[in-house]
Structure 1
C-alpha cells in the first residue's frame, strides 16, 4: 500500500475512478492520511442504491454528504442507479449540485425491480439545470412537462432515452429540437411509451439508433417515426414494426444496421445509394426494396443467418451490390426450431446468375457460426467457385459438440466442394 500511496495524485484518481461505486471510493479514506481527501477529487462518480434492506433515507443521505463535499472542478461522468428509496425531490437536489460541478456525462437509471412506482425527473434537468452536459442517458423514468420554463441543452451531443415515458409526442419534438448540437441519439421504446409518432428533427444529428422491445408494442401501423436529419451518417433500427418516414433523402448515410420484422417501411431503401456498410436481419423478401435498385457505394455487407429466407436476401443483395468487397455471414440470433431450413435454388448455380461483385470486386469472405447445413455448404461452394478475386476466407464453426473428428469432417467437405482461387487464404477457427 505504501508503494501505491507514493504514486502521483493524477494516477491515484484514475484508480479511484475504476472502483465499482462511490461508496468504495469514500472508504479508501480509511487507508491512510494520504488517501483521506483523494476521493473528493475523483472525476467519475457512480452511485448505486443497491442496499437490500436500507433504512429510509440512508442512501440519499450518503449521496448528499459525499456529493456535496466533492471538490473536483469538473466531473467527467456521474452515474445514478436508483431503487426504492430515492424520489424526484432527491434527484432535483442532486441535479442542482451537478450543474455547479460542471458534469459532462450524466446517467440516471431507475431500477424497476426495486422501484415499483414511477420516478419523475425534475424539470430543472431540461431547463438549463445541467448546462455543461455533453452526454445524457435516461433509463426507465418519467419525463414531466413544465411549459413555464424553456428546454435548454446548449452543449448536449449524445442523448439516450431508453424505456422512457413522455408527456406527449409534441413534447418529444420540442425536446429534440432544442438540442442544437446533438450528434448521437438512441431511442428505445417500451410498452409504457405513450408517444404514437416520434418526431426527430435535428439538423446536426449524425447517428440515430431506434429500438423497440420485441413483441411489446404489437404491430400498430399507426406508430412510427418521422425523421428529418439531413446530416445523418449512421442509422440503426431494431425490431421495428411501425412506419418510418424520412423528410429528406438521407444522402449522407454511410453505415446502417437493420433488424426488421418487415420491409414495408423500407420501400425507399433502394434510393439510398450512399450506404458503404450494411448489416441486415430480415424475415423475407416480401415488400423488399424496389427492383432495379443498385447499392453502388456498398463495400461491406453483413447478413444474419437466423431467418429462414436469409439465402434469398443474400442473393438479392449480392446481385444489387456490384462493388462489394467484404461479405460476412453471422447467425446473430437464435434459430426458430419449428421453422424449416432455408433452401438453395439450383438456378443460382448457372453462370448467368453469378453477381457482378463476385466476378470483379469481392476480396474477403467470413462466416461466423458455420454449422455445415446443406444450404450453408451450397453458399460456401458458390462463393468459392464464383469469387474470382477472393483473397481471404474465414470459417468460424458453431458445431454443438467438441468432437474434433466432426470439425475435421466439415473442413474436408469444404475443401472437396470448393474450387476457390489459388491466391485465396483459407482460415478455420
Structure 2
C-alpha cells in the first residue's frame, strides 16, 4: 500500500534559493519574514531577499491600537521589527528599500535606516511619510547627507512630511528616476541642487504648493525624457510675483505641467518633445496672457500630441507665430466656463497637419460671441480626420469638414434649458458618428454619403418636463426625424431612445441594427418601424426587454417586412427578461425570418430565467433549423 497516497507534495520548497528569494521579493517584508515558521528550510531564507518593504500601518493595524496597545508601544514594536530585519539581512546589494510611515514617533531612527540601505548599495529608495507640514503636530523626517552622494541609486521617491535640505554639492551619477511630492523645502535652492546633481536623470516628477519656499524652478537637464510638474495655488492668493518656471531639456519627449502660480515661465530647447499636457492658471490672465501663450507655443513648437487647459477664458491677441507643423492631436479644455474659441482659432490657424481635435466644455459665451477666422484653416480642408466634443452645452455647433472621418459629440446638457440650439454636420467622408443628445432644437445633417456606422443616444430623464407640453414633445420628435434622415445611408446603427413617435426614412444600406433605451430596453413600436424601413437588414440586436410603458399589446406589422423574408440572418437579444409580449415578438421573428441562421438569447441576469428556460427550449425544438445559443443563469 502506498502510504503517501493523498498527501500533497511540497514542490515549492524544492526550488533553488535564488528562485524562492525572487518569489519572496514580491511580498511585503512582514509576510516574507513570516515564512520563517514554515520549516527549517524557510527559517532564514528571507534574509537573502534583496527587496525590503516596510509599512507601519500594515505591520500593526488599527485593531492593535485599540486593544490596549498605546501608540508609542505600536511604534516601538515596528521600530524593533525593522531593526531586527536590517540586522539579520545578509544582502549587500539592495534592489529596493521601501519605507511607508503614518505615525512613527522615533524619527531619529529613520535616518539610520536610510543610511543602512545606502551602505548596502540600494538601487531604489522610496520614503513616504503621510503627515504633511506639521499640520497634525508631526515632526518632519530629516534625510542623511550620504543620501545625496549615493553612487548606486537609480530610483529615488520622496513623498510627504520630509525635510528636503539639500547640500550645495550633490552627486547621484546613476539616478534616472526622481519623484518628490509634498515635501518641505528648507530653502529656495533645494530642488535646483538636487535636480542638477543627477547627470543621468531621465524621469522627473515634482508636486508642490504655492507656499513652498521653492519659488523659482529651473529644470535644465540634458538627459531628461519625462517631466511631470504640479504646482498648486489657492483661490485666496491670485498673485504670485515670485514664482517662475524654466525648462531646458533637449531630449524631453513627455511633458506635463499643471502650474497655477507661475507668472513668468520659459520653455526652451524642447526639440524632441512629442506629447505635452499643459494646465495653467493666473499666469494666463490679464495683460500677460497673450505674452505667456506666445512663449508657450514657441517652446512646444515640435509637439505632436497636445492637451491644453486654462482657468482663464480671456481673449488672446497674438502676433504671427511659427506653425506647429508636427501637431496632429489637440485637446482643449477650460476649467471655468468653457473652452476659449479665440485660442481655438489660433491653434487651427497654425496647425496645418492637425488630424484629431478634442473640445471639452461649453460653447456659448453670451458676453463674448465667437468670430470665425478670416479664412478657413488649411487643416480643416486637408487633414482633420476626427472631432470629439465632450460635455458640450450651449450655442450652435457647425461641423463642416470635408476630410472628417469620425465625429463624437456627447452630453449636450442636463436639462431642457441647457442644450445646443443647433447642430449642423456636413462631412462627405464621415464614416463614424457618435451622438449623445438630450434636447437639441435643430439637426441638419447633410452630405453624409460615406457613413458606415452611427451610434445615437437620444433623449433621457431631462425630457420628462416635455411630457406635460405635447407640442414641445412633438417638435422634439420632429427634430429626431430630421437627424435620422441625415444618416439614412448608414450601414450599422445603434439607436437608444425611450421615445417612438419618429417618422423614419428608408435605410437602404442598413445591415446591422441595435435597439435599446437610454436607460435600458427597446421599444416595440420603434422595432416595427425599423423593420419596415430597413429592407436589407442582416443582424438585429435588442438590448434588454422592451421599455416599461411602451405599447402593451404588441401589434405585428400588417405585412411581413421584406428584411425578414430575404436578408435577416442573425438575431441577438441581450439581457432578456421577457414577459408574454416579449416572447410574442420573438415568436413572430422566428416564424417570419426565412433565412435566419443564428439566434442568441442572453438571460443571464434575468430573475425569471427558470421560467423562461423551458419556453426558450421549446422554441429551439420548433425552430431547430436555427443555431440557438442560450446564456442562462439557473
Using the size of structure 1 for normalisation, the TM-score is 0.79
Match of 2:318 in 1: 290
Contact 1:84 1:115 (8 Å CA) reproduced: no
Match of 2:195 in 1: 176
Contact 2:303 2:327 (8 Å CA) reproduced: yes
Contact 1:393 1:424 (8 Å CA) reproduced: no
Aligned equivalent of 1:143, options 155, 160, 164: 164
Aligned equivalent of 1:234, options 254, 257, 266: 254
Match of 1:322 in 2: 352
The alpha carbon displacement at 1:298 in A equals 0.6
Q: Distance in 2 between matches of 1:399 and 1:194?
A: 43
Aligned equivalent of 1:193, options 203, 212, 223: 212
**CA-to-aligned-CA distance 1:354-389 (integer Å, 9 cap, x gap):** 43212211123334xx445234xx44xx33x32x22
- 1:117 paired with 2:139, answer yes
Contact 1:83 1:115 (8 Å CA) reproduced: no
Classify 1:372/1:98 alpha carbon distance in 2 versus 1 (closer, same or farther; 3 Å). same
The alpha carbon displacement at 1:196 in A equals 2.6
User: What RMSD over aligned residues (CA atoms) do the two structures have, in Å?
Assistant: 3.7
Match of 2:239 in 1: 219
- 1:373 paired with 2:387, answer no
Aligned residue runs from structure 1 range 318-397, under 5 A: 318-330=348-360, 342=365, 345=369, 348=372, 354-367=376-389, 370-371=390-391, 373-375=393-395, 378-379=396-397, 382-383=398-399, 385-386=400-401, 388-394=402-408
The alpha carbon displacement at 1:247 in A equals 7.6
Q: Distance in 1 between matches of 2:445 and 2:41?
A: 67
Residue ranges of structure 1 left out of the alignment (5+ in a row): 402-406
The alpha carbon displacement at 1:170 in A equals 3.4
Contact 1:391 1:425 (8 Å CA) reproduced: no
Aligned residues between the structures: 402
Match of 2:533 in 1: none
Aligned residue runs from structure 1 range 298-309, under 5 A: 298-309=327-338
Classify 1:190/1:247 alpha carbon distance in 2 versus 1 (closer, same or farther; 3 Å). closer
**CA-to-aligned-CA distance 1:231-282 (integer Å, 9 cap, x gap):** 3333221132223443844333222111111323433123232111111111
**CA-to-aligned-CA distance 1:155-175 (integer Å, 9 cap, x gap):** 011111212222322343333
Relative to structure 2, which stretch is displaced further, 304-313 or 152-161?
304-313
Classify 1:44/1:115 alpha carbon distance in 2 versus 1 (closer, same or farther; 3 Å). farther
The alpha carbon displacement at 1:144 in A equals 2.7
Contact 1:136 1:159 (8 Å CA) reproduced: yes
The alpha carbon displacement at 1:341 in A equals 5.8
Aligned equivalent of 2:37, options 25, 30, 39: 30
The alignment partner of 1:117 has SS state of coil
Relative to structure 2, which stretch is displaced further, 104-113 or 153-162?
104-113
Residue ranges of structure 2 left out of the alignment (5+ in a row): 1-7, 66-70, 416-433, 458-634
Match of 1:404 in 2: none
Q: Distance in 2 between matches of 1:372 and 1:220?
A: 33
Classify 1:355/1:233 alpha carbon distance in 2 versus 1 (closer, same or farther; 3 Å). same
Q: Distance in 1 between matches of 2:213 and 2:13?
A: 55
Q: Distance in 2 between matches of 1:306 and 1:245?
A: 21
Classify 1:419/1:34 alpha carbon distance in 2 versus 1 (closer, same or farther; 3 Å). farther
The alpha carbon displacement at 1:180 in A equals 1.0
* Structure ranking higher on relative contact order (CA contacts 8 Å, 6+ apart): 1
Contact 1:88 1:121 (8 Å CA) reproduced: no
Q: Distance in 2 between matches of 1:243 and 1:408?
A: 40
- 1:102 paired with 2:121, answer yes
The alignment partner of 2:198 has SS state of coil
Q: Distance in 2 between matches of 1:396 and 1:37?
A: 60
Q: Distance in 2 between matches of 1:425 and 1:120?
A: 63
The alpha carbon displacement at 1:61 in A equals 1.5
Q: Distance in 2 between matches of 1:145 and 1:215?
A: 27
Using the size of structure 2 for normalisation, the TM-score is 0.56
Contact 1:308 1:341 (8 Å CA) reproduced: no
The alpha carbon displacement at 1:136 in A equals 0.8
Contact 2:411 2:438 (8 Å CA) reproduced: no
The alpha carbon displacement at 1:423 in A equals 3.8
Contact 1:393 1:425 (8 Å CA) reproduced: no
Q: Distance in 2 between matches of 1:80 and 1:115?
A: 21
Classify 1:306/1:222 alpha carbon distance in 2 versus 1 (closer, same or farther; 3 Å). closer
